[in-house]
């Protein structure tokens, strides 16, 4: 483990672990924990989504649908059927995985706008079903989730417990994702992104690669959906809304496509910023828009990759002198 952390790949992970461990020192109340937990949830989803969007170059505007399905699976199975939370969560994830698999094959044959449209449509269908099947889902008003999340007698009830749970999951998932993109599978993903034809020529099964990463990101969204349903104790069909999907994509793009740490930064900024901007009252949305525009204009590759390039550029020109 120590060796892993000392490696270049692990360096960032070490920073992440230290950060998660030290952040609570600055927390003054449960609200701070709450914001941190939400950042964690979003970060996990966005890392998964970034594998699909940033690395494999496939867009999805329907991931909030998967997230909501996971959330509702947990809410309904633990609420009305007394299932243990973990079993409900895994059942939801398997269901979402199957759905994503079935949908992925035809959908991922589409490219560009068509793929965006298809995933968008799928997300909307999920939202409509959740809205209208009110006997099951509570309809537009949503439903409460009364059961606490727990495994083998250990329950997460307080914000502090949730913080450590989400923090640990985030670290594990980032570690897995870093390894994934550095594996033959990760290189296949990037090859698909670069050129599907070229990837096929060198023997990459492009369909299977795309389907796998789509299913993985959907399952991760579903798991987070289940956890957040237990954490927030309430879910509504707005979880599946188009805007939520867009929000997740924005997090990935803002932080940086094809950057795991970018996903974390994007999720953190988009979760924290609205809380900070409440100080601007009526100008909140204006300032929010300005920040987004500024980032996209000055850092078109996203925050983390752009900063990385900038730092690399500076290092090449020590003392700020122009390179020969």
Partner 1 sequence: MRRRLMRALGMIALALGMVIVGRGPLYAADGSIRIGSFLAVTGPASFLGDPELKTLQMYIELINTDGGVNGRQLELIHYDSQANPKNAVGFVKRLIDQDEVDIIIGGSASGETLAVMPLVDKAEVPFISLAGSIKIIDPVQKWVFKTPHTDRMACQKIFEHMQGEGIQRIGMISGTGGFGKSMQGQCQEVAGDYGIEILADETYGPKDTDMTAQLTKIKGTEGIQAVLNPGFGQGPAIVTKNFRQLGFEVPMYQSHGVASKKYIELAGEAAEGVRLPAAALLVADKLPDTDRQKPVVVAYKQAFEDRHGAGSVSTFGGHAYDALFMAVEAMQRCQCSDAAGVRDELEKTAGFMGTAGEVTMSPEDHLGLGLSAFRMLEVKGGDWALLD
Q: Using CB under 8 A, list all residues that contact partner 1.
A: 8, 11-12, 15-16, 19, 23, 26-32, 34-36, 38-39, 128, 131-132, 134, 139-142, 144, 232-236, 238-239, 255, 261-262, 264-265, 268-269, 272-276, 278-279, 284-285, 303-304, 307-308, 311-312, 315
Complex with partner 1: residue 64 or 219, whichever CB lies closer: 64
The contacts of residue 309 (CB under 8 Å, 6+ apart) are 301
| Cβ 146 to partner 1 shortest distance, Å | 8
How buried is residue 292: exposed, middle or buried, by Cβ count under 10 Å (0-12/13-18/19+)? middle
Complex with partner 1: residue 203 or 316, whichever CB lies closer: 316
Complex with partner 1: residue 91 or 238, whichever CB lies closer: 238
| Cβ 269 to partner 1 shortest distance, Å | 6
Q: Tokens 């910023």, residue?
A: 273
Complex with partner 1: residue 32 or 193, whichever CB lies closer: 32
How far is the C-alpha of 137 from the C-alpha of 128, rounded, in Å?
Answer: 11
| Cβ 115 to partner 1 shortest distance, Å | 24
Rg (CA), the chain: 20
Q: Are 227 and 40 in contact (CB under 8 A)?
A: no
Q: Name the residue among 9, 8, 7 with its Cα closest to residue 174.
A: 9
| Cβ 113 to partner 1 shortest distance, Å | 22
Q: How far is CA 36 from CA 39, 162, 175, in A?
A: 5, 10, 19
Complex with partner 1: residue 90 or 254, whichever CB lies closer: 254
| Cβ 312 to partner 1 shortest distance, Å | 6
Complex with partner 1: residue 214 or 225, whichever CB lies closer: 225
The DSSP letter of residue 278 is G
| Cβ 290 to partner 1 shortest distance, Å | 16
DSSP for 143-212, written as a single string: EE--SPEEETTEEE-SHHHHHHHHHHHHHHHHHHHHHHHTSHHHHHHHHHHH-HHHHHHTT--HHHHHHH
Cα dihedral 184, 188, 193, 198 in deg (nearest 10)? 130
Complex with partner 1: residue 11 or 111, whichever CB lies closer: 11
Complex with partner 1: residue 117 or 276, whichever CB lies closer: 276
Q: Name the residue among 196, 222, 300, 301 with its Cα closest to residue 259.
A: 301
| Cβ 90 to partner 1 shortest distance, Å | 23
| Cβ 126 to partner 1 shortest distance, Å | 15
């Amino acid at each position: 483990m120590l060796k892993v952390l000392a490696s270049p790949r692990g360096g960032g992970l070490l920073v992440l672990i230290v950060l998660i461990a030290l952040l609570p020192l600055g927390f003054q109340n449960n609200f701070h924990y709450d914001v941190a937990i939400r950042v964690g949830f979003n970060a996990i989803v966005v890392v998964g989504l970034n594998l699909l969007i940033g690395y494999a170059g496939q867009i999805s505007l329907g991931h909030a649908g998967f997230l909501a399905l996971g959330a509702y699976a947990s809410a309904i199975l633990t609420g009305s059927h007394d299932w243990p939370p973990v079993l409900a969560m895994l059942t939801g994830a398997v269901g979402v995985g199957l759905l994503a698999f079935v949908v992925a094959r035809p959908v991922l044959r589409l490219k560009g706008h068509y793929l965006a449209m298809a995933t968008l449509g799928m997300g909307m269908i999920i939202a409509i079903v959740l809205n209208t099947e009110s006997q099951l889902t509570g309809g537009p008003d949503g439903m409460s989730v009364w059961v606490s999340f727990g495994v083998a007698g250990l329950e997460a009830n307080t914000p502090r417990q949730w913080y450590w749970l989400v923090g640990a999951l985030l670290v594990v998932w980032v570690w897995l994702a870093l390894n994934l993109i550095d594996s033959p599978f990760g290189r296949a993903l990037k090859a698909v992104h670069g050129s599907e034809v070229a990837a096929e020529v060198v023997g990459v099964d492009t369909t299977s690669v795309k389907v796998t990463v789509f299913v993985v990101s959907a399952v991760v969204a579903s798991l987070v959906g289940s956890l957040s349903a237990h954490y927030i104790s309430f879910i509504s069909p707005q979880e599946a809304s188009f805007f939520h999907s867009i929000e997740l994509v924005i997090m990935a793009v803002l932080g940086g496509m094809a950057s795991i740490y970018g996903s974390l930064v994007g999720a953190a900024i988009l979760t924290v910023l609205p809380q900070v901007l409440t100080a601007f009252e009526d100008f909140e949305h204006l300032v929010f828009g300005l920040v987004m525009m500024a980032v996209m204009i000055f850092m078109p590759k996203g925050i983390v990759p752009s900063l990385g390039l900038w730092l690399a550029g500076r290092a090449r020109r020590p003392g700020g002198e122009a390179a020969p």
